[in-house]
Amino acid sequence: MQELRKPKRLAEMSVDERKALLKKLSDEKKFREFLAERMPERQEAQETSPLQSDEHELFSLSSLQKLKATKISQDHLKDKLKSVHCADRIQRLITPTAEIIADVEVLSVKYPNFGGFIAELVVPQLYLQMRMEQPLHLSPFVLLGAPGIGKTAFLSDLALVLGVGWKIVDANAIQTSGVLNGLTRVYSNSTTGAIFDFMLFDVDAAGQRVPANSIFCIDEVDKVGQNEQLGSTENLLLALLERRTAQRFIDAAVPEFPLNIEHLIWGFTANSVDQMSAPLLSRMTVVDVPSLTFEQSLNVVGTIFNDQAATLKSKGLDVGQLEDHDRCQLAACSPREQIRVLKIAIAQAVHTGSRVRVAGLMNGKQQKKIGFI
């Protein structure tokens, strides 16, 4: 097997190199540019990977023939299913490479409070799969932490560096399992669910269908509703988190057309696991995401401010620097609150021609450190 080139990992970097990298990733634009710079190396590694040609069969030809022969009375559903073709049967599978692993490790610079999850759970799985020449996969997990610590933002960037697609569904919108696995054609408003639509219709930034081992996330899964009359979401999840069951996923709107979604990566976020059942928790790894230190929170304030200031500067607007005492006040808030306050403070500064001031803009009940976004 050809030896894979390994870029310098975080552990091999000097303090100055780490600081330079953190500065480089200080705003979203630079973070995207960093990934773009890495793409040639990552693509080269994928091209030389023994599993580059590995593909996944999402559905069988016989199932597609049954679907095309099925009479469907709902026009909106019929029109949607017309776009399913034989070419959609095969999905890509992303394979872990040394370059991908190195880029995942870099996320711990941008999201320091997710460093333990990255180092202890994500990287070991990817490394083993690389050595075993297996497709990329992460065992089901739930990121547990207070609102605003960046769980959703982290998962979005994790999917980006892994090179897979990602879908997030708000648990507040899931009152029945039909949101995920469709509504039967007994009803006039029958339609396919979020899982079916993601696997067959979602595309990435390049216009390609998402890989079979993309990330499907349910945000705040602890708030998922259970309506036994219309279908228990928890029972559906219990089944889908078993790989064998996932190999034959049935959407209620198209029972003639089972999908094999065994490679789908299941990620969840939660503010608490107190209301989650023991059977559901037993099927996932619970990851406690800690709050940031005050120093880390100060760095986050700087990152948010620099990002917003850089956007304004591209339009010829200069808001100067953020004073230290304003930074300290913001560091005591949640990053979600930091973003809200800075947007208002910067708007006021541009309007009045004065410096950015945050005094009086923060909600007192949220003035405490609760994490990263």
Query: CA 324 to CA 330: how far, in whole Å?
Result: 10
Tokens of 344: 């208002």
Contacts of 229 (CB under 8 A, 6+ apart): none
Predicted model pTM: 0.80
**What is the spatial distance between Cα 282 and Cα 241, in angstroms, rounded to a whole number?**
10
Q: Reduced to 3 states, what is the DSSP secondary structure of residue 115?
A: helix
Cα separation, 85 vs 75, in Å, equals 18
> Can you read off the two tokens belonging to residue 126?
């990817």
The DSSP letter of residue 121 is I
- The helix-helix angle for 294-313 and 324-331 (nearest 10°) equals 120
The strand pair at 285-288 and 90-92 is best described as unpaired
Rg (CA), the chain: 23
Q: Return the axis-axis angle of helices 294-313 and 28-48, rounded to nearest 10°.
A: 100
Distance of alpha carbon 28 from alpha carbon 31, whole angstroms? 5
Give 114's contacts (C-beta < 8 A, 6+ positions apart): 107, 108, 143, 150, 154, 289, 372
Phi and psi (nearest 5°) for 231?
120, 125
The residues near 13 (Cβ < 8 Å, ≥ 6 apart) are 21
Tell me which H or E stretch contains 124: helix 123-132
**One-character DSSP codes across 253-294:** T-TTS-B--TTPEEEEEES-STTS-HHHHTTSEEEE-PPPPH
3-state SS assignment for residue 91: strand
> In a structure prediction context, what are the per-residue pLDDT tens digits for the chain, which is 373 residues long?
444 445 556 666 666 676 677 666 666 667 777 766 766 656 555 444 443 447 999 999 999 999 999 999 999 999 999 999 999 999 999 999 999 999 999 998 888 889 999 999 999 999 999 999 999 999 999 999 988 888 998 999 999 999 999 999 998 888 888 999 999 999 999 999 999 999 999 987 778 899 999 999 999 998 886 554 545 888 899 999 998 999 999 999 999 999 999 999 999 999 999 988 999 999 999 999 998 888 888 888 988 898 899 899 999 999 999 999 999 999 988 778 888 999 999 999 999 999 999 988 877 544 444 344 4
DSSP 368: S
Residue located via tokens 């005591």: 332
